[in-house]
Structure 1
């Protein structure tokens, strides 16, 4: 399935400001790499979002590595930001940036976008879960003992997990059978998970282990169970944000 053309993005476009801010804050919190295309696509900068100030209507992001490119970027009036958190293409367009100082370092700032595009194919859709809505996931380790990790995002294709430490052993391509995910009010989801990613992420002052896993053959009943759960969490978040 090919990505939709730029002329057919309405169903993927978010215009509700608080939802746009929500996704921008996710990029900041996760340190997601962002590519900025400008000068008709002839120039680009790789950066990360550093801060967001709703009262000043600005997004602050890191200074680029090339001073020559940075100076050209400061003159650019149309800039396309592209990030791919969890494989989902996030895209927005801004006007001309300005130079600012952030934590005593040079940085860029732009006006917050009025539109935010999230290109999500159904099978790749991933919902980042609020801190208060993160289900425990119990995995049996090689020695028969169990370890509990926290589900930080979930979709029909798989989940991302975080914990102080990962199961042992834990290798890319390894399958964990009989994994239990407590969906809190939607019963327990029993699945097999295939490890596709492992790494670390900084949460405040803590280093957390992160695991990206793919579901192995969800049944139609499990598919429906997950869809109901994701829909409920989305509805609760929209109500919380006033949408």
Structure 2
């Protein structure tokens, strides 16, 4: 963040029409951050040429202008984040993407554990677009993507679904397999979302990133959905809408 409190980096990249997406009211900012704390919302910390670190906002203190993130101090990514300059936090509150700069990041070690402290944001970006609504599968069964990969003859991959939108899906790869590259097309992928929802689709790899999480490192495979017919699109929309409603009920 610059000395006048304005967001870095994105000012030049974002169009003028996005100005109304800025939240500068401290009351509104605190309300968003409190939702993240109370609902234990996953938060991704990252920056240019840095691995994404998945964590959560443990506490927010507007009086002392401090944010407190949960952390595994042994994770390799943590030290790199602390030493980095330009960092961004990204989280999703239902269908709203929340993003803000993370400044003055410090690793604090205590008797009962460790945390990451950062300055309270003076500005937050809030994005709300139907095409980017993302949900995390809930329920007892594990949502997964099943596919045959050309480099793994006779073996079917079953990758956990991290989150899903109307246009894309993020998958978790726990093994260090060099199988996915940006732009790669994967036909005939089966998304098993729940006991009654299975979607056949093609995928186009949009990005592959290593994520350092408290439970261990994994690879996040971001994909675009390709070749959905009208019936399948409606089925996907029904699943996403139902999952959003169930998520809200669980937080009441």
Question: Which category of TM-score, normalised to the shorter sequence, fits these structures?
Answer: 0.5 to 0.7
Does residue 1:139 correspond to 2:147, yes or no? Answer: yes
Partner Cα distance (1:221, 1:56) in 2: 47
Residue number in structure 1 paired with 2:37? 21
Higher RCO (CA 8 Å, separation ≥ 6 residues): 2
Q: Are the aligned partners of 1:189 and 1:222 in contact in 2 as well (CA < 8 Å)?
A: yes
TM-score by length of 1: 0.63
One of 191, 214, 223 as aligned partner of 2:224: 214
One of 102, 111, 124 as aligned partner of 2:108: 102
Partner Cα distance (1:194, 1:227) in 2: 20
Helix, strand or coil: the match of 1:225? Answer: helix
One of 148, 152, 164 as aligned partner of 2:162: 152
Partner Cα distance (2:60, 2:156) in 1: 46
Partner Cα distance (1:106, 1:149) in 2: 30
Where do residues 32-111 of structure 1 align in structure 2 (5 Å cutoff)? 32-33=46-47, 52-54=57-59, 59-60=67-68, 83-84=89-90, 90-91=98-99, 102-103=108-109, 108-110=117-119
One of 173, 180, 198 as aligned partner of 2:208: 198
Structure-2 change in CA distance of 1:64 and 1:173 (3 Å): closer
Residue number in structure 2 paired with 1:124? 132
What are structure 1's unaligned runs of at least 5 residues?
Answer: 35-46, 67-80
Helix, strand or coil: the match of 2:42? Answer: helix
TM-score by length of 2: 0.61
Partner Cα distance (2:237, 2:165) in 1: 8
Q: Are the aligned partners of 1:3 and 1:119 in contact in 2 as well (CA < 8 Å)?
A: no
Residue number in structure 2 paired with 1:37? none
The count of corresponding residues between Structure 1 and Structure 2 is 209
Partner Cα distance (2:211, 2:19) in 1: 33
What are structure 2's unaligned runs of at least 5 residues?
Answer: 1-14, 70-80
Q: Are the aligned partners of 2:186 and 2:204 in contact in 1 as well (CA < 8 Å)?
A: yes
Structure-2 change in CA distance of 1:49 and 1:23 (3 Å): farther
Q: Are the aligned partners of 2:21 and 2:126 in contact in 1 as well (CA < 8 Å)?
A: no
